[in-house]
Amino acid sequence: MAWVFLIISGLGEVGGVTFMKLSDGFKRWKGTVGAIGAGIVSFFFLSKALQTIPISTAYGIWTGIGSIGSVMLGMFIFRESRDWRKLLFLSMIISGVIGLKVVSGGH
């Protein structure tokens, strides 16, 4: 169940960053409320995941999910660059997240 909590936490991180963008520097209340709500969800589920998963693994994967999700949303929703170099480095983050999961063993 800890891995499910970690994935939810990572998705909350993506939501928080997305709502921060939509808040326009916390000038728009809907985006601001969304960022705060997503942040609460993200940290709550990260704290639940940390009860079982080692911090070195959980934090690395949490930030990886946040990074991957934010980059992909940036490309597909906010029409940011899809430069091949960005995709190359994104694939490195994905490889790192997968590697952390593999070496974490039974946790």
* Residue-wise pLDDT tens digits, 11-70: 999 999 999 999 999 999 999 999 999 999 999 999 999 999 999 999 999 999 999 999
Q: How far apart are CA 34 and CA 39, in angstroms?
A: 8
Mean of pLDDT values over 72-77:
95
Rounded CA-CA distance 12/66 in Å is 8
CA distances to 55, 77, 96 from 103, in Å: 13, 33, 11
Which of 24-34 are b and which e, b meaning 16 or more Cβ less than 10 Å from the residue's Cβ? eeeeeeebbeb
Domain residues for the domain of 77 are 2-103
Count other Cβ atoms within 10 Å, centred on residue 12. 23
pLDDT of amino acid 18: 97
Confidence class of residue 88 from pLDDT cuts 50, 70 and 90?
A: very high
Residue 104: pLDDT band with limits 50, 70, 90: confident
Total tally of structural domains belonging to the chain? 1
Please report the pLDDT score of residue 64 as a whole number: 95
Q: Kindly indicate the confidence band of residue 107, based on its pLDDT and cuts at 50, 70 and 90.
A: low
